[in-house]
């Protein structure tokens, strides 16, 4: 296998170090102490031994069975540290995103509980390279994949070249809980209920590795690491109520306006028409043909979430590895491609006088048209989620591949 560019420094991977197991050490320590304890007990009378066995274990901090202020303060400090760590992991000066779609802190803490960030610091890879974001078209030109899909399929040509499959491109505008800095954990969620098909449900609940590249801003996509995605508890009714008013109002409007929300609206229409909890394919087809799903308002959508008829399916994103060589390759190749003077060609009419003819005017107009077309392609990226896939089943197929 050959890469497009060569590097003096070989590719390296940063992996999560396994936590130190101190159980063996603890057992050895206890085994050394046990003989002395048995010797001490052998010198006691039977009544003293009985008292020793029944003596309750005393807590040096909490001696009266009541939670002391000191213990409460320690617990609050631990919770505060956890909250602070979560908030710090959500901060990145490079990003400008819609905060109206952000889950509240309690929801994040409940889903990110126990996850620790993978340390990716300046000793691992220089900050200039680590935080360098790229246009998505550039990444796709090297590794393949459609530039509009969250879970793009990689063609055989690219797979034979680099062997990297299972890519994920979350958009912070619509998934602000996704990782924002390399190595940090995150969440991925979509407004759709769990599938009734048990076969598909089993596939969705199976943990998988994905190479995560997050969209920070227009034409700014940053490699975060290789993540294990695992489905966790969906958003509950009480958690929906705890979200901000802006969150509920914005998502309800987005579902009504965007193509991916049609599945939600059709399920709502089928429930209303047939009085069922989980509509089947025939019922969904019937309301799709009648067009009655188009009559629902954002207030109707919000009510469906408040009743628990609709919910958000959530995946936990835990960074397990960081491919230093991958980010270096992107950085070096991008610098090479954008170097001054690269691919510069002399005009064919150099040295010739060009008059202001009608043909020249038409040529100028053509150039303007091409430029406007490129701008339209760039602007469409701002509404990326809308053009990912209107059909949720196809959308989830990319996720389960």
Q: Average the pLDDT over 350-371 and give the result.
A: 44
**Separation CA 32–CA 19 (nearest Å):** 25
82-96, 258-272, 339-353: the lowest-pLDDT one: 339-353
Cα–Cα distances (Å) from 274 to 194, 195, 246, 286, 382, in that order, read 20, 19, 32, 10, 38
pLDDT bracket for residue 375 (50, 70, 90):
very low
* CB contact at 8 A, 268 and 277: no
Cα–Cα distances (Å) from 213 to 15, 120, 149, 272, in that order, read 18, 15, 12, 40
Name the token pair of 351: 């040295």
Average pLDDT of every residue of the chain: 73
pLDDT, position 118:
94
Question: 276: how many CB neighbours lie within 10 A of its CB?
Answer: 12
**Which has the higher per-residue pLDDT, 206 or 290?**
290
pLDDT bracket for residue 189 (50, 70, 90):
confident
Query: How far from chain centre, in Å, is Cα 164?
Result: 19
* Residue 63 pLDDT exceeds 60: no
Cα–Cα distances (Å) from 155 to 161, 164, 211, 283, 333, in that order, read 10, 10, 16, 36, 21
* Residue 53 pLDDT exceeds 60: no
pLDDT bracket for residue 382 (50, 70, 90):
very low
* Residue 203 pLDDT exceeds 80: no
Tens-digit pLDDT profile for residues 9-20: 545 677 776 665
pLDDT bracket for residue 192 (50, 70, 90):
confident
Name the token pair of 265: 């609206």
Q: Average the pLDDT over 137-164 and give the result.
A: 92
pLDDT, position 231:
86
């109520």: which residue's tokens?
241
Q: Which residues contact 38 (CB under 8 A, 6 or more apart)?
A: none
Tens-digit pLDDT profile for residues 85-134: 665 656 666 556 555 677 888 888 889 988 899 999 999 999 999 999 99
């Amino acid at each position: 296998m050959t890469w497009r560019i060569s590097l003096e420094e070989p590719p390296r991977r940063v992996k999560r170090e396994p936590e130190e197991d101190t159980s063996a050490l603890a057992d050895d320590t206890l085994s050394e102490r046990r003989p002395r304890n048995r010797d001490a007990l052998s010198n006691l009378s039977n009544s003293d031994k009985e008292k020793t066995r029944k003596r309750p274990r005393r807590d040096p901090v909490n001696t009266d069975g009541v939670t002391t202020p000191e213990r409460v303060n320690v617990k609050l400090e631990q919770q505060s540290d956890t909250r602070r760590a979560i908030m710090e992991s959500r901060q990145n000066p490079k990003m400008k995103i819609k905060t109206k779609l952000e889950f509240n802190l309690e929801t994040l803490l409940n889903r990110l509980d126990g996850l620790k960030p993978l340390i990716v610091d300046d000793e691992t890879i220089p900050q200039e390279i680590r935080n360098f974001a790229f246009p998505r078209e550039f990444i796709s030109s090297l590794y393949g994949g459609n530039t509009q899909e969250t879970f793009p399929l990689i063609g055989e040509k690219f797979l034979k070249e680099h062997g990297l499959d299972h890519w994920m491109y979350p958009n912070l505008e619509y998934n602000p809980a996704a990782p924002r800095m390399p190595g940090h954990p995150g969440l991925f969620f979509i407004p759709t209920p769990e599938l009734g098909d048990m076969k598909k449900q089993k596939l969705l609940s199976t943990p998988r590795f994905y190479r995560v590249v997050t969209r920070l801003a227009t034409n700014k996509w940053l490699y975060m690491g290789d993540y294990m995605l695992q489905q966790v508890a969906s958003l509950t009714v009480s958690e929906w109520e705890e979200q901000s008013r802006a969150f509920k109002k914005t998502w309800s409007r987005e579902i009504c306006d965007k193509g991916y929300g049609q599945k939600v609206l059709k399920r709502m229409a089928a429930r209303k028409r047939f009085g069922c909890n989980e509509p089947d394919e025939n019922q969904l087809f019937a309301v799709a043909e009648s067009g009655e799903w188009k009559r629902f308002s954002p207030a109707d959508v919000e009510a469906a979430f408040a009743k628990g008829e609709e919910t958000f399916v959530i995946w936990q994103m835990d960074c397990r590895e960081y491919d230093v060589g991958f980010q270096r390759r992107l950085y070096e190749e991008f610098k090479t491609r954008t170097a001054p003077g690269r691919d510069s060609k002399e005009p064919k009419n150099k040295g010739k006088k060009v008059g202001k003819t009608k043909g020249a005017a038409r040529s100028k107009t053509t150039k303007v048209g091409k430029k406007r077309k490129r701008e339209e392609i760039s602007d469409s990226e701002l509404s990326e989620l809308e053009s990912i896939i209107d059909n949720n089943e196809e959308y989830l197929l990319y996720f389960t591949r």
